[in-house]
Amino acid sequence: MKKQLLFLSCILLSVSLMAQVKISGTTKDKRGRKLAGVSISLKDSYDGTVSDSLGNYSFKTTEKGQFVIEAKLLDYTTVTQPIIIANDAIALNFMLKEEVSELKAVTVTAGSFEAGDKKRAATVMSSLDVVTTAGSNGDVTGALKTLPGAQQVGEQEGLFVRGGAGYETKQFIDGTFVNNPFFAGAQDIATRGRFSPFLFKGTVFSTGGYSALYGQALSSAVILESIDLPERSEIDASISTVFVGAGTQQLGKKKKWSYGVNYGYTNVYPYFQIVKQKPDYFTVPAFHSGEANFRIKTKKGMLKFYTSFNQQELGLRRPNIDSSTLKNAFGLTGTNWYNNISWKENLGKGWKMNWAGSYSTNYNDIFSQIQNQNNEFTTAGLWYIDSNNFSLKNTANVSQIKAVFEKRLKGISTIRFGNEYWHTFNTGKYKSYSISLNENLYAGFAETDVYLTNDIAAKLGARLEHSSLLDKWNIAPRLSLAYKTGKDAQMSVAYGDFYQTPENNYLFVSKNLGYVKATHYILNYSKINNNYSFRVEAFYKKYQDLIKTFPTYKNAGNGYAQGIELFWRDKKTFKNVDYWFSYSYLDTKRDYNNYPMQLQPTFAANHTASLVAKRFVMKWKTGFNVTYSYATGRPYYNLQYAGGTKYELKDQGTTIPYNSLSFSVNYLPNLGKPKAKSFIVWVASITNVLNQNQVFGYNYSYNGNIKQPITPPAPQFFFIGCFISWGVDRSQDAINNNL
Amino acid sequence: MKKVIILSFVLVNTFFAAFSQSEKFTAAMTATLDQMKAAKTSEETAAVAAKFERIADAEKTQWLPYYYAALIKARMAFTATDKDKAADEATALLDKADALSKNNSEIYVVRATICYAHMMVDPMTRWMKYGADAKAQLESAKKADATNPRPVILEANSLKNTPEQFGGGCETAKPIAEKAAKLLADFKPASPLHPVWGKEVVDEILNSCK
């Protein structure tokens, strides 16, 4: 009987199979908005559909019994619902919750420019841009100067950001601080950075409000991230009007490790023979640079080691301003050894670890003397002239170790914390006086990225530091918020306190000083997609406890900077042309050093603008790049000791506006020749094409009767170079080994 | 005896069920492949991809429906606003196909297509990485099945779309396309459900490169 029943029910089931059941409903998000394109499926059957533009779906099924129905849409959490299908139509509505995802979520960007391929569409400047920006001469800092916030300071190296001096900007490589990022040089002549832009895959130029992971920078942080593994093995050689170089990078067969070695020699003697320089160089600037790197993939991470060694010399004579017959001679030899090791590891369960260590030692041997017309040492018997007779030997050692741990929380919210320790040891000899500074800086930091939804994110952090030299603590809160206002568009605000230990030249005189401090307030709006970037940012920065050198060395100074900045980049409007425009308005005053009152510092211009354009002409295999930079005149002062406890402003003025048009061409003759054994890049560039007069400020004679303009050593810089690489494509090896 | 009857009954039933299941799969795949050819709008195409995915999820052991779902998503990635995201979606589907059929020439071809989609986001800066990756995938595809015309078709198409200055253009693309056409003529799919596409692409290259 039982069996018969079973048989009967089987037949009935088969009959009922013929009858289709309709399943329909709506697909909406949490706020009741219609969702199109939601994939509805009856699990373990082929049946299902996709919801239409009105958020409705409907399909028929011949299945019967217990099933699970699923609603799925990219970026939304999948919803499943068990159902029993009988003979009646089923109405079922789905509500899907949006997932907070890294790609869709706002990023906290107030104050920073990110370069490189890291954040995809949010990229403002790619690594290639650094080397193809006319006027940058392949220097990272040179390219960053075309972005808003940076001043066109030509008489000193460094980035002068938002009313901050050059030493208020710090560079970090793979998380650790770089002590001497620029070559040493003579007064009033800017030098280049030591590191090639090709070392880095990403550059973040933060002009304020940056993360609690970085400290000891009052104004700005340049955060450089070195490349992981190179694309292929190759041998490189270069020759140019000022240097020759050769090197190699080797990528392991399974693309697990790589190493590289490079050597370069720069000597500007032939160049100086052709292009006359204003100073009389008795030792023409020459540099030896060697570098090596090793990178290896670990289990779930990467270990990188980089080392570089530089040796340099230069010597020059310039007329003494206080005497028509005397000259100032200046000579320098120096060495710099820089080492960086970093280890990133994914520990699983949402944990990441990042260790970094660096060690650098920098030695400079400087002599300065007064010379007569026969270039012989002499004294004038006047202290303000004879103070130029001195020798200075200085060694700076910096070791740093830093550990950062990161834990992914719910969604994409993250907490990050860690600590770092810097040991700085400076010793030197000024004339016959020995000087030394020994600093142990300890810092702990924590921050969290909180994503409330895809549209609202906050970054909250704090940094605690202790300096043994100052014997003081500081705690710096940092906060930024971002709110997505529309497609590709967002508003951000940032606030933060920033502390920095006073510069060594102050500390050599007095150790009884405290931290200098800046507080940043930033409001930002940006709209960025693949073709355009638009950004406008307003800021207010308050300086406290700046160092006054008169009447005594004290943290008695103060100041402010405020302004508004615009950035516009467009890769679309003109075919094959990529251009960007940046403008900065800056209002800043500070009372520091021997200033008798708050004054606009000599490195600050009120209006700065840059226009950069690049075009690659495929037919000629040639790229053309042009940069025009403009800045209004900068103030200059003659501050004179007025007796008692007073310095007074004897004279002041404003320089002529700064104009510079630069042009560069890159020609790639072997581009796209698949059979070519070498890849060649020819580069030719010229700065200040129009030969416009550039004055960066004035030096005054002791009595104040003579003022001399500070100008570049030569008005223009010409460069022609050829870079060749012979590559070994490892992709075929990789395939053979993996199969 | 009773046991034998029951056993044979069960056996026959199972066999029948298995047979009808494969019949059902073939029928559904054939219908969906027709829909794939007929689809015009992006909505229609997306619906076809979703259907392949449903079939794949229900079957659990068939690589073909995941393959087709991934192929459609990879092609859609070229016109998507967020190409990277669309390409990642295709990769997720392809990984499932790959898990069911290792070292499959056709799957390598779709991987290459996905690389090209990633490259299109910013060709100037991405060609070094994704161009090389795509090339590597196509080489793997050729190695896995030397008779498969599709890696050769993609190679020809990629060369045709590469500017002459970069070593592309008709001159280099045409001989490869001719080779692809020959492979295509000789190609016998393992079943009517297996991939056969590519003729339109070859014809287009050969037509425009006369």
CATH of the domain at A172: 2.40.170.20
Q: At what angle do helices B2-38 and B42-59 cross, to 10 degrees?
A: 160
Instruction: Note whether A119 and A235 are same-domain residues.
Output: yes
Q: Give the domain extent around A88.
A: 17-96
More confident residue, A114 or A348: A348
Any idea which residue has 């620029």 for tokens? A182
Instruction: Note whether B121 and B167 are same-domain residues.
Output: no
Asked if residue A77 is part of any domain, the answer here is: yes
Whole-angstrom distance, CA of residue A707 vs CA of residue A697: 10
Cross-chain residue pair A45–B47, CB shorter than 8 Å: no
Domain count of chain B?
Answer: 2
Q: List, in order, residues 6 or more apart from A623 with CB less than 8 Å away.
A: A132, A614, A615, A616, A617, A665, A666, A667, A668
Domain count of chain A?
Answer: 2
8 A C-beta contact, residue A581 and residue A609: yes
Q: Which of A44, A50, A530 is facing B58, going by the closest CB pair?
A: A44
Instruction: Note whether B189 and B98 are same-domain residues.
Output: no
pLDDT of A122 reads 37
- Report the half-sphere exposure of A359 (CA within 13 A, side-chain side): 1
Instruction: Note whether B114 and B184 are same-domain residues.
Output: no
pLDDT digits (tens, 9 = 90+) for A60-90: 988 888 999 999 988 888 999 999 998 889 9
pLDDT of A527 reads 87
Whole-angstrom distance, CA of residue A456 vs CA of residue A212: 20
Asked if residue A380 is part of any domain, the answer here is: no
Nearest Cα of chain B lies from the Cα of A53 at a distance, in angstroms, of 9
Q: What is the mean pLDDT of residues A320-337?
A: 95
Q: Is B23 on the interface with A (CB under 8 A)?
A: no
Nearest partner of A492 among A529, A445, A527, A531, judged by Cα? A527
Instruction: Note whether B48 and B136 are same-domain residues.
Output: yes
Instruction: Note whether A90 and A208 are same-domain residues.
Output: no
pLDDT digits (tens, 9 = 90+) for A387-409: 999 999 999 999 999 999 999 88
Confidence of residue A18 (pLDDT cuts 50, 70, 90): low
Q: Is B39 on the interface with A (CB under 8 A)?
A: no
pLDDT digits (tens, 9 = 90+) for A113-163: 554 334 433 345 666 778 888 888 888 899 999 999 999 999 999 999 999
Cross-chain residue pair B54–A619, CB shorter than 8 Å: no
Whole-angstrom distance, CA of residue A557 vs CA of residue A3: 100
Confidence of residue A673 (pLDDT cuts 50, 70, 90): low
Q: Which of B122, B128, B163 is facing A672, going by the closest CB pair?
A: B163
Asked if residue A382 is part of any domain, the answer here is: no
Q: Give the domain extent around B87.
A: 40-143
Sort strands A169-173 and A79-85 into parallel, antiparallel or unpaired. unpaired
Query: Which tokens go with A176?
Result: 């650790």
Distance of CA A604 to the CA centre of its chain: 21
pLDDT of A104 reads 59
Instruction: Note whether A88 and A223 are same-domain residues.
Output: no
Which of B105, B121, B143 marks a domain boundary?
B143
* Dihedral over Cα of A634, A640, A641, A646: its sign: negative
pLDDT at A736 over 50: no
Q: What is the mean pLDDT of residues A356-377?
A: 96
- With an 8 Å Cβ cutoff, the interface of chain A facing chain B consists of 37, 39, 41-50, 52-53, 74, 103, 117, 120, 126-128, 231-232, 530, 616, 618-619, 621, 671-674, 729, 731-732, 734-735, 739
Instruction: Note whether B123 and B162 are same-domain residues.
Output: no
Alpha-carbon distances of A391 from A330, A394, A431, A508, rounded to whole Å: 10, 10, 5, 16
Asked if residue B151 is part of any domain, the answer here is: yes
Rounded to the nearest integer, the mean pLDDT of chain A is 88
Any idea which residue has 């406008």 for tokens? A536
Instruction: Note whether B156 and B85 are same-domain residues.
Output: no
pLDDT at A112 over 70: no
The CATH number assigned to the domain holding A43 equals: 2.60.40.10
Nearest partner of B74 among B29, B116, B43, B37, judged by Cα? B116
Confidence of residue A636 (pLDDT cuts 50, 70, 90): very high
Sort strands A390-408 and A257-267 into parallel, antiparallel or unpaired. unpaired
Whole-angstrom distance, CA of residue A159 vs CA of residue A619: 37
Asked if residue B157 is part of any domain, the answer here is: yes
Q: What is the mean pLDDT of residues A346-360?
A: 93
pTM: 0.79
Asked if residue A378 is part of any domain, the answer here is: no
Instruction: Note whether B127 and B164 are same-domain residues.
Output: no
Q: What is the mean pLDDT of residues B9-19?
A: 63
Instruction: Note whether B80 and B115 are same-domain residues.
Output: yes
Asked if residue A377 is part of any domain, the answer here is: no
Q: What is the mean pLDDT of residues A1-25?
A: 60
Nearest partner of A588 among A634, A651, A522, A630, judged by Cα? A634
Confidence of residue A620 (pLDDT cuts 50, 70, 90): confident
pLDDT at A361 over 80: yes
Instruction: Note whether B77 and B129 are same-domain residues.
Output: yes
pLDDT of A557 reads 96
Asked if residue B204 is part of any domain, the answer here is: yes
pLDDT at A176 over 80: yes
Instruction: Note whether B59 and B138 are same-domain residues.
Output: yes
Whole-angstrom distance, CA of residue A483 vs CA of residue A494: 12
Instruction: Note whether A441 and A477 are same-domain residues.
Output: yes
Whole-angstrom distance, CA of residue A738 vs CA of residue A731: 11
Nearest Cα of chain A lies from the Cα of B166 at a distance, in angstroms, of 3
Which of A71, A96, A121 marks a domain boundary?
A96
Cross-chain residue pair A672–B165, CB shorter than 8 Å: yes
pLDDT at A15 over 50: no
Asked if residue B33 is part of any domain, the answer here is: no
pLDDT digits (tens, 9 = 90+) for A442-466: 999 999 988 887 788 888 999 999 9
Instruction: Note whether B61 and B126 are same-domain residues.
Output: yes
Confidence of residue A528 (pLDDT cuts 50, 70, 90): confident
Instruction: Note whether A30 and A170 are same-domain residues.
Output: no
pLDDT at A575 over 70: yes
Confidence of residue A737 (pLDDT cuts 50, 70, 90): very low
pLDDT digits (tens, 9 = 90+) for A450-507: 888 778 888 899 999 999 999 999 999 999 888 888 878 888 899 999 999 999 999 9
Instruction: Note whether B121 and B169 are same-domain residues.
Output: no
Asked if residue B126 is part of any domain, the answer here is: yes
